[in-house]
Amino acid sequence: MALNPVLCLSAVDFAYPATPVLQDVSLEIAASEGVALLGPNGAGKTTLTRLAMAMLQPLRGTVETVGRPTAERAPEDLADRVGYLFQNPEAQLVERTVQAEVSFGPRHLGWPAARIDSATREVLAELDLTSAASTHPYDLPAARRRLVALASALVVDPAFLILDEPTAGLDRVARQTVCRVVRERLARGCAVLAVSHDVDFAIEVLDRALILQDRRIVRDGEIAQVLVDSVELGLPLPAPALLAQRIPLASVSWRAEDVARALAERCRSSGPPVS
Ligand SMILES: Nc1ncnc2c1ncn2[C@@H]1O[C@H](COP(=O)(O)OP(=O)(O)OP(=O)(O)O)[C@@H](O)[C@H]1O
Ligand SMILES: [Mg+2]
């Protein structure tokens, strides 16, 4: 058992009225862990994050988030310690300026004005959104609008960050911003659970992967190993893995820097030229 886990699901069953989604799912995420939740469309990844955020309640079993049982709790009872990015971030944007949007959580938590101000300013700077503070979120391009939603999830300096498809629809610059920010938050001790179809993002930023399929967690382990072991499940391979296979390189990790190192060694040892 992890010490002070940020998320603990025990024997959870969940179904929508006509759709069984989770069956006997148990898992733990420890403080400062970076975890990818992967799996096919409709597997129940978003549903699992909604259970973690007390937006849904299990039919059977228990969910504890940041040490708080979610039974009879609402999302706002977790908002001081958990940041949540919706799969469709537009669903969470309600204010008329970026500044008001990002400070929404702290204002509703009753923070003093000076603390709200400084936290909002800091997170806008962290996400390169300072110049957009007075802009209406809907006047921003979609990629930057998603960063606004991410800023709203980050502003309380959460102990646990739940991100549902954080890189979907982002351009290269916004995607790099998300990668940097997630890395920095992990380094500061924030745990991250990121639902993602973007295995390149997941393998570059996160350490552990869970695969949800057929209502169960079917894989759980070190992310590169999980991806190697799960080829038959039809998940896309990360770009460095495709490169390593194509050359071919016997790189075990599939992280970009390891593949680059293996490629450099191959060149240095004057192996066959890469065509
Ligand atoms: N509010 C709802 N009412 C009824 N069924 C739902 C509801 N939300 C999701 N479902 C169904 O539950 C199953 C799991 O959905 P969920 O959105 O959790 O999957 P997902 O893994 O996040 O999928 P995706 O990768 O497409 O985002 C799907 O069959 C979906 O159609
Ligand atoms: Mg989803």
pLDDT in tens, 11-63: 999 999 999 999 999 999 999 999 999 999 999 999 999 999 999 999 999 99
41 located within any domain: yes
For residues 137 and 246, membership in a common domain is answered with no
Same domain, 268 and 139: no
CA distance linking residue 171 with residue 114, whole number of Å? 34
Q: Any idea what the CATH number is for the domain that residue 226 is in?
A: 3.40.50.300
d(CA 35, CA 1): 16
41 lines ligand 1 (CB under 6 A): yes
For ligand 1, the distance from its centroid to the CA atom of residue 182, given in whole angstroms, is 25
Q: Are residues 86 and 196 in the same domain?
A: yes
Q: Is the residue at 37 inside a domain?
A: yes
Overall number of domains in the chain: 2
What are the tens digits of pLDDT across the range 148-177?
999 999 999 999 999 999 999 999 999 999
Residues 134 and 97 sit within 8 Å (Cβ to Cβ): yes
| 107 lies in some domain | yes
Domain match, 162 and 269 both: no
Same domain, 136 and 243: no
Residue 206: DSSP 8-state:
-
**37 forms bridges with which residues in the sheet?**
195, 210
Q: Clarify whether residues 215 and 244 are in a common domain.
A: no
Same domain, residue pair 164 and 224: yes
Q: Is residue 25 assigned to a domain?
A: yes
pTM of this prediction?
0.93
Residues 144 and 256 in one domain: no
Residue 139, SS3 per DSSP: helix
32 by Cβ neighbours in 10 Å (0-12 / 13-18 / 19+) ranks as middle
Q: Tell me: do 193 and 260 sit in the same domain.
A: no
Q: Mean pLDDT score of the chain, rounded to an integer? A: 93
Query: Which atom of ligand 1 is least distant from the CA of 17?
Result: 4
Q: Three-class SS of residue 123?
A: helix
pLDDT at 275 over 60: no
154 and 249 belong to one structural domain: no
Domain with 266, as residue range(s), is: 237-275
Query: Does 1 reside within a domain?
Result: no
Q: What is the pLDDT of residues 88-110, one digit of tens each?
A: 988 889 999 999 999 999 999 99
Report the interhelical angle of 172-187 vs 142-154 (nearest 10°): 10
User: Which of 13, 14, 16, 199 best tests ligand 1's pocket when mutated (most atoms within 8 Å of CB)?
Assistant: 16
Q: Does the residue 186 lie in any domain?
A: yes
Are 268 and 204 contained in the same domain?
no
